[in-house]
Structure 1
C-alpha cells in the first residue's frame, strides 16, 4: 500500500500499461485489463491521465492544473497526490520513473 506521505512533488509518474481509456461525455473512463475493473477518472482525473502519457513530475502536474483551473496551490497538491496515490494502489500508474521533462 502506498501512502500519500511517501509521494513528493519531485516524484515522476507515468501511465501504467494494460488500460483501455475512453472519453465519455467529457470524462475519462478506464478499463484495467489485468484486474477487470472499471474506473471513472472524471474530467480533471482525465486531464491528469493525459498529462502522464510520458513521465512527468507531480509538481509539473500541479502547475499544469493550476494554470487551467482556479484552485489554491496547497489544495491542488493535496488532491493530485491523493489521486496519484490511489491510482498507484490500483496499479494504474508507475511512480518514480525517470525521464520527465519540465
Structure 2
C-alpha cells in the first residue's frame, strides 16, 4: 500500500538506490528494481530527478527549477512538491534528516 507523505520546503530529499535510469528522446525513464515498475519522469521530472542525485533541500530544487523554466513561485512550488510527494509514495526517493 502506498503511503502519502507531505513535503515541506525545508525537507532534504534524495534518490533511493535500486533504480535504473535512462534518457530517451529528452525524457528520463526509470525502472525500479525494488518494485518492478517502469516510470516516465518526462523532461521536467528528469531535471528534478538529476538534482536529487545528492541530498538537496526542496526549496533549493524549486529555486533551480525557477531559474531553468519560466514559472511563477506558487506554481513551481506546488508542482515540485506534488511531484516529490508522488516519488516518495512510490518509494523512489526519501527524506533525509
Residues 38-93 of structure 1: CA deviation (Å, up to 9, x unaligned) = 00000000000000000000000000000000001100000000000000000000
Secondary structure at the residue paired with 1:29?
strand
Residues 3-35 of structure 1: CA deviation (Å, up to 9, x unaligned) = 4xx311000000011000000000000000111
Q: TM-score, normalised by structure 2?
A: 0.95
Q: Paired residue for 2:78? A: 78
**Aligned length, in residue pairs:** 95
Q: Paired residue for 2:29? A: 29
Q: TM-score, normalised by structure 1?
A: 0.90
Runs of 4+ in 1 over 6 A off after TM superposition: none
Q: Distance in 2 between matches of 1:9 and 1:2?
A: 16
Q: Paired residue for 1:2? A: 4
Q: Could you list the runs of 5+ residues in structure 1 that have no partner in the other structure?
A: none
Q: Distance in 2 between matches of 1:93 and 1:34?
A: 12
Q: Paired residue for 2:89? A: 89
Q: Could you list the runs of 5+ residues in structure 2 that have no partner in the other structure?
A: none
Secondary structure at the residue paired with 1:39?
strand
